[in-house]
C-alpha cells in the first residue's frame, strides 16, 4: 500500500481553494458584466443637417454637434471629423488646416497630420442626401 | 503555516465553551458580515441609482431588470439589510441573556445600541430611496413625527427634509445620509465596537476558577468557524435573493394613485400600531425613545449579573433584565403582528 | 470543520452556478424607442408577437406606453402592468383622456371634428340619455322628454342643444318600479358599460374600442363558435356585426321591462343583419352601417341631446337625391381635407385632389363615394371594399312623393323580401 502523495488535510485544502477560486471567478465575471451595462443612451450615429440648399457651393461649415466640418466641394458634399485622432479633443479650424488645443497636434486642410503627437489622419464622415433633399451625416 | 493578517485580527485563542455556535449564535460576527455585504452591494448600486424624484424609481427598475445581475445585487442588499436588523436584535438578546454587559463591557454595550439605532435608520433611509408609490406615507408620517417635537421640531424637520414638505431636496439628503452620513458613523462605531471587544478581554467568560473547562480554540480555528458561517450566510442570502425579490412599485409622481396598502416598513409596524392610540409626539417619539432608553439603561439600572455567572445563558443574577427584555420583545412582536393583520375600519 | 468548509464552498459554487443558469433563462430585453416619446420601452420583450394595432398607430411612432401606460422598464409582469390604464382597454372612457387625449391626438379642436373624445363621451350612445329620458317620462318620473340624466354626470357648457349638463342616473334613487327595473336590467348597452354577456356574439369592449376594435366578424360561417376575440386592432372599417353587438338584438317589452332577444338563427348576411321584423332595402343589407351613417351620427357632434333622432339625419336622398335635385357633391382640393385623411386610413377608394365626393346637408363629406367624370356615381363599402355604382333618383322612373323623404316611403317599393 503506497503512502498517499496528498494528505487528507491537503486534499481538503486544495478542494476548498479550487471551489472558492471558481466561485470567485464566477463572481468576478458577474461583476464585470454588471459594470459594463450602458446606462446612458448611446451617442447618435446619424445627424440631420437640414436642407442641402443651406450649404452653398464652396462653403466649409463647422458642425459643432457632431463635431465635423461639412465641405460643399465641386464633386458634392464631404465631411471631415473634427475629433483629434490623438486623444479626442475637438480641433479648431485654421486657415491652413486644423489645430488641436490640447496637446498641439496640427492637421492640414485634408486632415493629414502635420505635427505630432497625433499620428492618424482625421476621419472622413459619410454624407448622403435623402429623398427629401435633406443632408444626413453618419458617424458609423 | 504562519497566521495571516486576518488571523491576527483575532485573539490568539478564545475559550472553547463560549466559542460554540450555540453560545453566541454567531450573531455578532454575522452582523459584521452582513454590514460588509451591504457596503459592497451598496457601492455597486451607487453606479446605477439616480437620486432625483423623476429618476429614482426608474433607475431602480433599470438596475433590477436591465443590468446583468442588477436584480441580484439589489435583492442581496435588501435581504442583507433586513437580516441585519434581525441578527442585531439576536446579538443584543444574546448579550443580555449571557450577562455580557458588566463593566468593562458596559461602554461597548452603549456602542452596540448606537449601532442598532444606525442599522434601523439606514434601513429606513434606504426604504425611502425607492421613491415609489409604496413609500409615500412612510415619508410623510416619518418626517411629520419629527415636526411633532415641541420647540425643536420645526428646525429638525427643516434640516431633515430640506424644505417645507418632502421633495427633491429630501431625497438627496436621505441619499447623503444613507450612503455617507449614517454609513460612515456605522463604520466608525463598528471599528470601535470590535476594538472594545478585544480590549475588554474578548468574549465574556466566567473567571478561570469557575469555568467547567479550560479548553480553548486557536485563532486559526476561530477563523475557520467564521469562514464557515460566512459561506453559509452567503448561500442563504443568494437563495433568498433569487426566490424572494425585493419589493418595487411604480414611481411616485404627482399623479400617482393612493397606495392600496398603507403599511409601514416591517421594522416600524410596531410604531404604526402605537400611533393609532393618539398623540404622535407621545406614541411616535416619546414611547419608542423610552423603550430604547430602557434597553440601553439595563446595565445601569437593573440588578447586574455576577461575575461568576456571565458567559453562560440565563444567569440567575440578572433575571429581571432578561424578563424585562422578553416583555419588551414580545410586546414589539405582538404590535408588529397586529400591524400585519388586514385593515378593517 | 475543514470538511464542513469544503461542503459550504461547494454549496456556494453550486448556488452561483444556479444563478448564472437562471440568468441565462431571463427574458431577453427588446428595446423600442418610439419617435413620439423618445423614451425607451421594453414591452416587446414579452409582447413581441402582438400584431401592430393598425396603420394609424404604428408602434415605431407610438410605442406601447403612450396609450396603455404601464412601467416601460420593467420586465416583470406585475410591476410592468401595475400602472397600465384601463386594464386591457386604455380607451375605456374612465381613462380615455389620459390614453387617447391631447391636443395633437384625439382631444383636438372642433375644427374638422378633431375633438373625438369630447364628441364620443357626450354622444347619445355614451350618455344613453334618450333611453333614460323616455323610460322616465313614460312612467311619469319626468314631465317631458328632455334629458336630465345620463350614464355619468357630464358637463358641456358649449352645448348648442339647450342641454348643458346631465346628472348621473342612479336606479336606486328611482321610486317607480319600472324605472328601477330598467336601471337594473337595461343599462348594458352604452359605451361606458361592460356588455352583459362576455364572450360570444354580443361581446365588445367599452369606450372608443366598442366600435373601433373588432370583436366580431361578419363571417357568418363561424357564428356558432364565435368567442370574444381579444383583437389588438384599431380600425375604421367597422362591419355591421360590430354594431350588432348592441343593435338589432331584439325588442323591449315596456310593460314588463324585459328584453326579448331575437330567436332566429341566420345563416346569411341578409337575415343576420336586421331583426326578422325589419324592412330594409337591398343597399341597407349590403352596405355596412358606417357606409351611410356619418361621423357625427355615430360619434356625436359634441352636444348633449335628449334623443337619437336629434343627431340622426342621413336619408336616402343624401346619396340618391330627389326627383328634382341631384345629390350634393363637394370638390376636394385641400390635401389635408378630412376626406383624404379618412381614405388614407382605409384605402378602399383612391381619392385624388379634384375628385368630387358626395356631401351631406351638414357638410360632412361621404369620402367613400364619388361622382365620376362621366356623371355616374359610385360607393365603395368601407368594410367590404365592394364597389357599388348607383343612380340618382332624378331622371329615373321613381314615383316618390317629393315631400316625404322618410325612409319608410322608399321602403314601400324598394324593401327586400327575405
Listed by start position, the domains of chain C span 113-299, 314-396+403-414
Kindly give, in sequence order, each residue whose CB lies less than 8 Å from that of residue B276, ignoring residues fewer than 6 positions away: none
Please give, one letter per residue, the 3-state secondary structure of chain C.
CHHHHHHHHHHHHHHHHHHHHHHHCCCCCCCECCCCCCCCECCHHHHCCCCCCCCCCCHHHHCCHHHHECCCCCCCHHHHHHCECCCCCCCCCCCHHHHHCCCCCCCCCCHHHCCHHHHHHHCHHHHCHHHHHHHHHHCCCCCCCCCCEECCCEECCCCCCCCCEEEECCHHHCCCHHHHHHHHHCCCCCCCCCCCCCCCCCCCCCCCHHHHCCCCCCCHHHHHHCCCCCCCCCCCCCCHHHHCCCCCCEEEECCCCEEEECCCCCCCHHHHHCCCCCCCEHHHHHCCHHHHCCHHHHHCCCCCCCCHHHCCCCCHHHHHCCCCCCCCEEEECCCCCHHHHHHHHCCCCCCCCCEEEEECCCCCEECCEEECCCCCEEEECCCCCCEEEECCCCCCCCCCCCCCCCHHHHHHHHECCC
B-contacting residues in C 78-137 (Cβ below 8 Å) = 79, 82-83
Task: Give contacts of C82 with chain B, Cβ < 8 Å.
Answer: 249-250
Cell 468548509 locates to: C5
Query: B76 and A66 in contact (C-beta within 8 Å)?
Result: no
Which of B59, B234, B250 to mutate to probe the C interface, most C CBs <10 Å? B250
B68–A39: do the CB atoms touch at under 8 Å? no
pLDDT at B112: 97
3-state class of B132 per DSSP? strand
Q: What one-character DSSP code corresponds to residue B7?
A: H
- Edge to edge, the sheet with strand C329-332 lists C329-332, C355-359, C365-366
Name chain B contacts of C1, Cβ cutoff 8 Å.
Answer: 221, 224-225, 228
Residue C198: what pLDDT? 65
Distances (CA, A) of A90 to A20, A78, A105: 48, 18, 11
Residues of C in contact with B219 (CB under 8 A): none
pLDDT score, position C225: 43
* Interatomic CA distance for residues B41 and A26, integer angstroms: 16
pLDDT of residue A42: 81
Closest by Cβ to A19, choosing from C9, C20, C40: C9
pLDDT of amino acid B72: 97
Please write the tens of the pLDDT for every residue from C72-102.
999 999 999 999 999 889 999 999 999 999 8
- Residues of chain A short of pLDDT 70, as ranges, are 1-4
Does residue C223 register a pLDDT over 90?
A: no
**Whether the Cβ atoms of residue B140 and residue B166 lie closer than 8 Å to each other:** yes
pLDDT number for residue C291 = 95
Taking CA atoms, C21 is separated from A14, B74, B175, C24, C140, in Å, by: 26, 19, 34, 5, 73
Q: How far is CA B87 from the centre of its chain?
A: 8
pLDDT (mean) for B59-68: 96
Neighbours of B255 (CB within 10 A): 6
Does B250 score more than 70 pLDDT?
yes
What residue segments make up the domains of chain B, in order of their start?
16-255
Taking a C-beta distance cutoff of 8 angstroms, is the pair A70, A127 a contact?
A: yes
B-interface mutation test, from A7, A26, A37, A38, most B Cβ less than 10 A away:
A37
Share above pLDDT 70 across residues of chain C, in percent, rounded to a whole number: 96
The CB-side HSE value for B111 (13 A sphere, CA atoms) comes to: 19
Is C10 within 8 Å of chain B by CB? no
Write the DSSP assignment of A37-69 as a string of letters: ---SPPPPSEEEEEEGGGS-TT-EEEETTTTEE
In which band, very low, low, confident or very high, does the pLDDT at C224 lie, cut at 50, 70 and 90?
very low
**DSSP bridge pairs for A46:** A138
Beta carbons within 10 angstroms of residue C156's beta carbon: 17
- Cα C293 to Cα A126, C24, C199, C202, C313: the distances in Å are 54, 55, 27, 21, 8
Q: Is pLDDT at C160 greater than 90 in this prediction?
A: no
Label residue B62 left, alpha or beta by phi (over 0 means left) and psi (-120 to 50 means alpha): alpha
What ipTM goes with this model?
A: 0.90
Task: Tell whether C13 lies on the interface with A, counting CB pairs under 8 A.
Answer: yes
- Average pLDDT (B47-74) is 96
3-class state of residue A107 by DSSP: strand
Residues C163, C172 contacting (CB under 8 angstroms)? no
Mean pLDDT of B170-195: 97
Cβ contact, residue pair C6, A9, below 8 Å: no
Contact (CB, 8 A) for C79 and C71 = yes
Strand order in the sheet with C149-150: C149-150, C165-168, C154-155
pLDDT average, residue stretch C9-24? 95
C244-278: pLDDT as tens digits: 988 988 888 888 899 888 888 888 888 889 988 88
Q: In angstroms, rounded to a whole number, what is the distance separating the alpha carbons of residues C258 and C332?
A: 49
pLDDT range class, residue C417, cuts 50, 70, 90: confident
Chain A CA closest to residue B50: A39
Say whether pLDDT at B197 is over 70. Answer: yes
Beta strand A97-99 with C258-261 is unpaired
C40 touches chain A (CB under 8 A): yes
Q: Give the range among B85-89, C122-126, C214-218 with minimum mean pLDDT.
A: C214-218
Query: Does B90 score more than 80 pLDDT?
Result: yes
Identify the CATH homologous superfamily for domain B16-255.
Cytochrome Bc1 Complex; Chain C (1.20.810.10)
Distance between CA atoms of residues C71 and C81, nearest Å: 7
Q: In terms of Cα–Cα distance, which of C91, C85, C146 is closest to C121? A: C91
The three cell numbers of residue B306 are 455576577
Q: Which three cell numbers stand for residue C226?
A: 364565435
Starting from the edge strand earliest in sequence, which strands make up the sheet with A106-107, in order?
A92-94, A97-99, A106-107, A113-115
Residue A16 contacts C where some CB pair is shorter than 8 Å: yes
Rounded to two decimals, what is the model's pTM?
0.89
Q: Is the predicted pLDDT of residue B35 greater than 90, yes or no? A: yes
Q: Is the pLDDT of residue C42 over 50?
A: yes
**Pairwise CB contact (< 8 Å): B58 & C73:** yes
Phi and psi at residue B79, to the nearest 5°: -70, -35
Chain mean position to CA C291: 14
8 Å CB contact between C209 and C288: no
How far apart, in Å, are the Cα atoms of C62 and each of A74, B182, B243, C35, C100?
A: 42, 45, 35, 7, 11
DSSP 8-state code for residue A105? -
B244: three-class secondary structure by DSSP: coil
CA angle C85, C233, C353 (to 5 degrees): 115
Residues of B whose CB is below 8 A from C79: 61, 248-250
Contact C319/C350 with Cβ under 8 angstroms? no
How far, CA to CA in Å, does C280 sit from each of B322, C236, C243, C276?
Answer: 92, 24, 16, 10
C-alpha C334/C-alpha C336 separation (Å) is 5
Q: Which residue of C has its CA nearest to A23?
A: C13
Which site among B61, B243, B253, B259 would you substitute to test the C interface, given the most C Cβ atoms closer than 10 Å to its Cβ? B61
The rounded mean pLDDT for chain C is 90
Domain A46-138 has CATH 2.60.40.10: no
**Is A34's CB within 8 Å of B44's CB?**
yes
Q: What is the pLDDT of residue B21?
A: 92
The residue assigned the cell 425643536 is B152
| Span between the terminal Cα atoms of chain A, in Å | 70
Q: Is C162 left (phi over 0), alpha (psi -120 to 50) or beta?
A: left
What is residue A104's predicted lDDT score, i.e. its pLDDT?
94
Question: Cβ of C23 and B69 within 8 Å?
Answer: yes
Residue pair B311/B100 in contact by the 8 Å Cβ criterion: yes
Q: What's the full length of chain A, in residues? A: 140
Rg, chain C, Cα only: 26
pLDDT of residue C228: 47
For residue C229, pLDDT beyond 80: no
Distance CA C116, CA C108 (A): 8
Nearest to B89 by CA among B335, B271, B326, B289: B326
pLDDT in tens, C354-396: 999 999 999 999 999 999 999 899 999 999 999 999 989 998 8
DSSP class of residue A140?
-
The total of other beta-carbon atoms located within 10 Å of residue C300's CB is 24
Contact of A34 with chain B, judged by CB distance below 8 Å, is answered with: yes
Chain position carrying cell 360632412: C364
User: pLDDT tens, C29-41?
Assistant: 999 999 999 999 9
Q: What is the pLDDT of residue C231?
A: 81
Residues of C in contact with B224 (CB under 8 A): 1-2, 5
Q: Residue C335 pLDDT > 60, yes or no?
A: yes
Amino acid at each position: 500500500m503506497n503512502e498517499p502523495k496528498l494528505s487528507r488535510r491537503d486534499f481538503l485544502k486544495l478542494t476548498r481553494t479550487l471551489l472558492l477560486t471558481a466561485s470567485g471567478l464566477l463572481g468576478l465575471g458577474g461583476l464585470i458584466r454588471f459594470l459594463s451595462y450602458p446606462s446612458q443612451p448611446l451617442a447618435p450615429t446619424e445627424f440631420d443637417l437640414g436642407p442641402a440648399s443651406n450649404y452653398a457651393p464652396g462653403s466649409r461649415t463647422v458642425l459643432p454637434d457632431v463635431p465635423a466640418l461639412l465641405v460643399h466641394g465641386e464633386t458634392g458634399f464631404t465631411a471631415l471629423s473634427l475629433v483629434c485622432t490623438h486623444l479626442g479633443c475637438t480641433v479648431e479650424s485654421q486657415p491652413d488646416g486644423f489645430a488641436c488645443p490640447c496637446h498641439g497636434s496640427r492637421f492640414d486642410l485634408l486632415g493629414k497630420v502635420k505635427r505630432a503627437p497625433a499620428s492618424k489622419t482625421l476621419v472622413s464622415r459619410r454624407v448622403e442626401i435623402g429623398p427629401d433633399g435633406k443632408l444626413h451625416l453618419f458617424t458609423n | 503555516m504562519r497566521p495571516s493578517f486576518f488571523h491576527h485580527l483575532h485573539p490568539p485563542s478564545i475559550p472553547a465553551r463560549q466559542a460554540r455556535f450555540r453560545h453566541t449564535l454567531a450573531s455578532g460576527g454575522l452582523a459584521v458580515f452582513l454590514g460588509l455585504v451591504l457596503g459592497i452591494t451598496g457601492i455597486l448600486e451607487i453606479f446605477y441609482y439616480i437620486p432625483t424624484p423623476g429618476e429614482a424609481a426608474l433607475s431602480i427598475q433599470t438596475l433590477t431588470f436591465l443590468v446583468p445581475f442588477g436584480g441580484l445585487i439589489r435583492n442581496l442588499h435588501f435581504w442583507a439589510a433586513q437580516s441585519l436588523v434581525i441578527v442585531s436584535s439576536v446579538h443584543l438578546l444574546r448579550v443580555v441573556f449571557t450577562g455580557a454587559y458588566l463593566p468593562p463591557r458596559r461602554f461597548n454595550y452603549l456602542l452596540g445600541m448606537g449601532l442598532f439605532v444606525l442599522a434601523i435608520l439606514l434601513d429606513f433611509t434606504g426604504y425611502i430611496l425607492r421613491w415609489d408609490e409604496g413609500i409615500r406615507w412612510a415619508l410623510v408620517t416619518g418626517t411629520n413625527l419629527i415636526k411633532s417635537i415641541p420647540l425643536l421640531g420645526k428646525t429638525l424637520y427643516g434640516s431633515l427634509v430640506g424644505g417645507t414638505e418632502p421633495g427633491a431636496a429630501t431625497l438627496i439628503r436621505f441619499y447623503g445620509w444613507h450612503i455617507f452620513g449614517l454609513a460612515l458613523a456605522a463604520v466608525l462605531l463598528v471599528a470601535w465596537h470590535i476594538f472594545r471587544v478585544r480590549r475588554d478581554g474578548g468574549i465574556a467568560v466566567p473567571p478561570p476558577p469557575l469555568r467547567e473547562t479550560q479548553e480553548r480554540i486557536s485563532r486559526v480555528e476561530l477563523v475557520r468557524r467564521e469562514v464557515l458561517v460566512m459561506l453559509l450566510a452567503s448561500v442563504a442570502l443568494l437563495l433568498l435573493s433569487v426566490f424572494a425579490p425585493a419589493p418595487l412599485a411604480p414611481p411616485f409622481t404627482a399623479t400617482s394613485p393612493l397606495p392600496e396598502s398603507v403599511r409601514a416598513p416591517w421594522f416600524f409596524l410596531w410604531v404604526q400600531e402605537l400611533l393609532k392610540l393618539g398623540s404622535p409626539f407621545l406614541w411616535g417619539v416619546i414611547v419608542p425613545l423610552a423603550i430604547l432608553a430602557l434597553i440601553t439603561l439595563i446595565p445601569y439600572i437593573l440588578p447586574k449579573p455576577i461575575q461568576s455567572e456571565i458567559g453562560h445563558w440565563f444567569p440567575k443574577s440578572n433575571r429581571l433584565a432578561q424578563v424585562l427584555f422578553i416583555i419588551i420583545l414580545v410586546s414589539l412582536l405582538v404590535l408588529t403582528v397586529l400591524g400585519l393583520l388586514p385593515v378593517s375600519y | 470543520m475543514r470538511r464542513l468548509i469544503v461542503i459550504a464552498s461547494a454549496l456556494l459554487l453550486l448556488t452561483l452556478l444556479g444563478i448564472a443558469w437562471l440568468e441565462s433563462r431571463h427574458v431577453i430585453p427588446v428595446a423600442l424607442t418610439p419617435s413620439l416619446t423618445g423614451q425607451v420601452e421594453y414591452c416587446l420583450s414579452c409582447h413581441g408577437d402582438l400584431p401592430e394595432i393598425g396603420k394609424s398607430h404604428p408602434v415605431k411612432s407610438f410605442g406601447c406606453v403612450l396609450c396603455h401606460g404601464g412601467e416601460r422598464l420593467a420586465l416583470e409582469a406585475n410591476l410592468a402592468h401595475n400602472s397600465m390604464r384601463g386594464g386591457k382597454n386604455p380607451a375605456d372612457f374612465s381613462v380615455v383622456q389620459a390614453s387617447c387625449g391631447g391636443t395633437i391626438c384625439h382631444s383636438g379642436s372642433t375644427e374638422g371634428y378633431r375633438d373625438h373624445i369630447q364628441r364620443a363621451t357626450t354622444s347619445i350612445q355614451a350618455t344613453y340619455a334618450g333611453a333614460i329620458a323616455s323610460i322616465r317620462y313614460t312612467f311619469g318620473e319626468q314631465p317631458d322628454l328632455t334629458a336630465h340624466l345620463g350614464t355619468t354626470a357630464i358637463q358641456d357648457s358649449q352645448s348648442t342643444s339647450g342641454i348643458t349638463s346631465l346628472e348621473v342616473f342612479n336606479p336606486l334613487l328611482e321610486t317607480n318600479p319600472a324605472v328601477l327595473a330598467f336601471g337594473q336590467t337595461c343599462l348594458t348597452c352604452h359605451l361606458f358599460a361592460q356588455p352583459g354577456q362576455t364572450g360570444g356574439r354580443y361581446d365588445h369592449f367599452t369606450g372608443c374600442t366598442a366600435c373601433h376594435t373588432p370583436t366580431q366578424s361578419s363571417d357568418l360561417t363561424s357564428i356558432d363558435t364565435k368567442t370574444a376575440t381579444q383583437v389588438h386592432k384599431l380600425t375604421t372599417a367597422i362591419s355591421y356585426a360590430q354594431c350588432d353587438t348592441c343593435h338589432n338584438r331584439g325588442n323591449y317589452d315596456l310593460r314588463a321591462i324585459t328584453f326579448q332577444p331575437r330567436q332566429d338563427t341566420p345563416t346569411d348576411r341578409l337575415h343576420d343583419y336586421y331583426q326578422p321584423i325589419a324592412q330594409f332595402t337591398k343597399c341597407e343589407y349590403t352596405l355596412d352601417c358606417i357606409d351611410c351613417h356619418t361621423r357625427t351620427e355615430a360619434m356625436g357632434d359634441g352636444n348633449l341631446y335628449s334623443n337619437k333622432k336629434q343627431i340622426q339625419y342621413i336619408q336616402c336622398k343624401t346619396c340618391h337625391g330627389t326627383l328634382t335635385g341631384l345629390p350634393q357633391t363637394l370638390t376636394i382640393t385641400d390635401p389635408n381635407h378630412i376626406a383624404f385623411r379618412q381614405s388614407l386610413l382605409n384605402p378602399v377608394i383612391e381619392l385624388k385632389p379634384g375628385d368630387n365626393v358626395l356631401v351631406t346637408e351638414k357638410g360632412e363629406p361621404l369620402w367613400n363615394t364619388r361622382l365620376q367624370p362621366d356623371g355616374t356615381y359610385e360607393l365603395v363599402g368601407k368594410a367590404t371594399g365592394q364597389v357599388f355604382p348607383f343612380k340618382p333618383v332624378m331622371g329615373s322612373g321613381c314615383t316618390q312623393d317629393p315631400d316625404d323623404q322618410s325612409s319608410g316611403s322608399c321602403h314601400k317599393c324598394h324593401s327586400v323580401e327575405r
